[in-house]
């Protein structure tokens, strides 16, 4: 059950959560309205510095007091200052206020530790431990090791209407002696590396039910595919709480996953950008990436249900998305007629649909000495869970990668960029399909590329207006309105800036 919170503790928690890179409500007035401590992973009776910290996972419930209107076309707009939300004590009922659940892994110690200063969450009095200093357990090596040992022991701990369960699916090379180190890059979750063997991914913004990344990694690991990292295991929890109306509820969510750490892995976006900047050929890599996606799609077909969907219905959904997007990005009006014609090519025939990646681009790939690995199977976070698990056409993923090559082209403007991107697109399609597309498939792919570009226009209008000419140029090329020349736009110049160029193309997980 949620623990009673004093205003001081609620304020400390909100300042920590809202200041984190993974917080999803930046710029919004928010309040911490509840905390559910999950069962202890260590014995609180042995709470001594000599014995290490007391460790547990906790679920923090945040309510938003001034939620923006969501028109369903993409993620919430980022504020101009990207600031933390105002710390708020609600002065009225919060019924109906949007809420998020965030996970903290907490290491409690009886006194401050200088080496953990940057990991401090707050200071308060805990009901079991007394006065404590709370630290982020992912940045406390002793506490991070507790999480790994719990997985290796397949622990199942329960108390006070809550239970945490650790599931081990593979253990080769995984030992409790592996040294933990937190990944310091920008992430929407938190990763802890254990030696050169494994990576623990702690989910921060919790989604109830099965986490898609775990579900897909588990299924693909069972098929023996080599195109994704091996899944070592995961953690899940069930807890009792009350909903916004005060009614009792039981919730279940996946908390973390442990996967194989890919040795000598290079981010696909960085690799492609460096090749383009150096004028180096990238077609061999693009062709191999196409083959890896085809193999992954085949494994997904074997692991999850498949179906067929009328193309008329798919075209209608794309047209509806375009109508909603035009309200956000009026520049799309100039492309409306052409886009409706492109979408109309889907009419009259059925599409095979299956589980797909759903958010596929160069930033969702890693290149290793053993070939390409595909990561992050959670789908576009702007979509609902039902939308992300629904079968879709493989052309969704193919279109996402082709658009990613377009963003690489625009990010490195120059006389050879367009030819480089075109060669990569052709090689990727050849690797995936094994030859040229027939006219029907080419028309289907064009519709999915256009649908993706419409999404990108909305994202750029909301988040990076100086980039919007990149997807608008792609739409012009797809509809035959004007030649596609992103290197001539102001957006390309901005994208080439070193601080911008490292960013993922329309990567809502960055």
pLDDT at 72: 43
CATH code (residue 378): 3.90.1200.10
**Total number of domains in the chain:** 2
Chosen domain end from 260, 275, 305: 260
pLDDT at 2: 64
pLDDT (mean) for 440-468? 95
Place of tokens 């401590």: 37
Shared domain for 317 and 441, answered yes or no, is yes
pLDDT (mean) for 125-134? 94
pLDDT at 482: 56
- CA dist 327 → 290, 401, 458, 474, 507 (Å): 35, 27, 10, 20, 22
Q: Determine what percent of the chain is predicted with pLDDT higher than 70.
A: 86
Shared domain for 301 and 256, answered yes or no, is no
Segment holding 356, helix H or strand E: none
pLDDT at 68: 53
pLDDT band at 510 (very low <50, low <70, confident <90, very high): very low
- CA dist 237 → 148, 240, 287, 386 (Å): 16, 10, 41, 21
The predicted-structure confidence for 189-223, as pLDDT tens digits, reads as follows 999 999 999 999 999 999 999 999 999 999 998 88
504: tokens are 């993922």
Shared domain for 217 and 281, answered yes or no, is no
488: tokens are 């001539």
pLDDT band at 486 (very low <50, low <70, confident <90, very high): very low
Chosen domain end from 215, 243, 260: 260
Shared domain for 276 and 225, answered yes or no, is no
Q: Is residue 165 part of a domain?
A: yes
For residue 18, the number of C-alpha atoms closer than 13 Å in the C-beta half-sphere is 25
pLDDT band at 94 (very low <50, low <70, confident <90, very high): low
Shared domain for 230 and 273, answered yes or no, is no
Chosen domain end from 209, 234, 260: 260
Segment holding 417, helix H or strand E: helix 417-433
Shared domain for 280 and 209, answered yes or no, is no
Shared domain for 243 and 289, answered yes or no, is no
Shared domain for 272 and 246, answered yes or no, is no
Q: Is the pLDDT of residue 498 over 50?
A: no
Q: Is residue 489 part of a domain?
A: yes
Of 11-25, 62-76, 91-105, 186-200, the one with minimum mean pLDDT is: 62-76
Shared domain for 190 and 308, answered yes or no, is no
Q: Is residue 117 part of a domain?
A: yes
Distance CA 482, CA 484 (A): 6
pLDDT at 467: 93
Q: Is residue 509 part of a domain?
A: no
Q: Is residue 507 part of a domain?
A: no
Shared domain for 115 and 230, answered yes or no, is yes
Residues 6+ apart with CB under 8 A from 43: none
pLDDT (mean) for 127-139? 95
Q: Is residue 246 part of a domain?
A: yes
The predicted-structure confidence for 296-337, as pLDDT tens digits, reads as follows 999 999 999 999 999 999 999 999 999 999 999 999 999 999
**DSSP-H helix ranges across 282-348:** 283-303, 311-328, 336-344
Shared domain for 236 and 285, answered yes or no, is no
pLDDT band at 177 (very low <50, low <70, confident <90, very high): very high
pLDDT (mean) for 14-36? 91
The predicted-structure confidence for 211-270, as pLDDT tens digits, reads as follows 999 999 999 988 888 899 999 999 999 999 877 667 888 999 999 999 999 989 999 999
Q: What's the first-to-final CA gap in the chain, in angstroms?
A: 33
Distance CA 401, CA 428 (A): 9
Q: Is 205 exposed, middle or buried (0-12, 13-18, 19+ CB in 10 A)?
A: middle
Q: Is the pLDDT of residue 473 over 90?
A: yes
**Mean pLDDT for all residues in the chain:** 88
Range of the domain at 469: 266-501
Shared domain for 381 and 474, answered yes or no, is yes
Q: Determine what percent of the chain is predicted with pLDDT higher than 90.
A: 73
pLDDT higher at 377 or 27: 377
**pTM tops 0.85, yes or no:** no
Q: Is residue 279 part of a domain?
A: yes
* Whole-number CA gyration radius for the chain: 24
């Amino acid at each position: 059950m949620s623990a009673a919170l004093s205003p001081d503790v609620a304020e400390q928690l909100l300042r920590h959560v809202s200041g984190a890179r993974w917080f999803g409500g930046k710029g919004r007035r928010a309040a911490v309205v509840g905390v559910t401590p999950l069962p202890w992973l260590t014995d609180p009776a042995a709470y001594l510095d000599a014995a290490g910290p007391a460790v547990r996972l906790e679920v923090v419930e945040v309510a938003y007091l001034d939620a923006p209107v969501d028109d369903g076309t993409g993620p919430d707009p980022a504020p101009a200052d990207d600031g933390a939300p105002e710390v708020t004590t609600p002065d009225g009922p919060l019924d109906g206020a949007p809420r998020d659940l965030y996970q903290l892994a907490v290491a409690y110690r009886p006194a401050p530790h200088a080496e953990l200063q940057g990991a401090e969450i707050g200071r308060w009095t805990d009901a079991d431990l007394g006065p404590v200093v709370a630290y982020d357990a992912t940045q406390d090596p002793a506490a991070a090791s507790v999480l790994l040992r719990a997985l290796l022991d397949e622990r199942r701990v329960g108390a006070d209407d809550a239970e945490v369960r650790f599931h081990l699916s593979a253990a080769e090379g995984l030992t409790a002696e592996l040294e933990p180190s937190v990944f310091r890059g920008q992430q929407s979750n938190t990763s802890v590396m254990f030696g050169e063997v494994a990576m623990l991914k702690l989910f921060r913004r919790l989604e109830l039910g099965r986490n898609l990344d775990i579900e897909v990694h588990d299924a693909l690991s069972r098929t023996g595919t080599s195109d994704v990292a091996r899944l070592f295991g995961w953690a899940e929890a069930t807890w009792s709480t009350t909903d916004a109306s005060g009614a009792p509820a039981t919730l279940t969510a996946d908390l973390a996953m442990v996967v194989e750490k890919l040795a000598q892995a290079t981010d696909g976006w960085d690799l492609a950008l460096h090749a383009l900047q150096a004028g180096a050929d990238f077609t061999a890599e693009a062709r191999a990436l196409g083959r890896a996606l085809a193999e992954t799609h085949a494994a997904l077909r074997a692991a999850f249900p498949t179906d067929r969907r009328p193309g008329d219905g798919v075209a209608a959904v794309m047209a509806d998305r375009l109508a909603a997007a035009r309200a956000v990005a009026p520049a799309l009006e100039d492309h409306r007629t052409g886009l409706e014609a492109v979408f109309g090519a889907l009419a009259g025939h059925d599409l095979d649909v299956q589980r797909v990646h759903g958010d596929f681009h160069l930033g969702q790939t890693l290149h290793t000495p053993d070939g390409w690995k595909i990561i992050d199977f959670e789908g576009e976070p702007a979509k609902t869970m039902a939308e992300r698990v629904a079968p879709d056409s493989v052309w969704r993923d193919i279109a996402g990668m082709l658009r990613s090559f377009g963003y690489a082209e625009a990010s490195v403007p120059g006389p050879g960029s367009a030819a480089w991107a075109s060669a990569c697109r052709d090689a990727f399609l050849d690797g995936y399909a094994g030859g040229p597309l027939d006219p029907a498939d080419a028309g289907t792919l064009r519709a999915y590329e256009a649908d993706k570009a419409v999404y990108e226009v909305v994202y750029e209008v909301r988040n990076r207006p100086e980039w919007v000419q990149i997807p608008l140029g792609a739409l012009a090329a797809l509809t035959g309105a004007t030649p596609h020349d992103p290197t001539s736009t102001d957006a390309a110049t901005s994208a080439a800036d070193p601080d911008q160029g490292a960013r993922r193309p329309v990567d809502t997980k960055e």
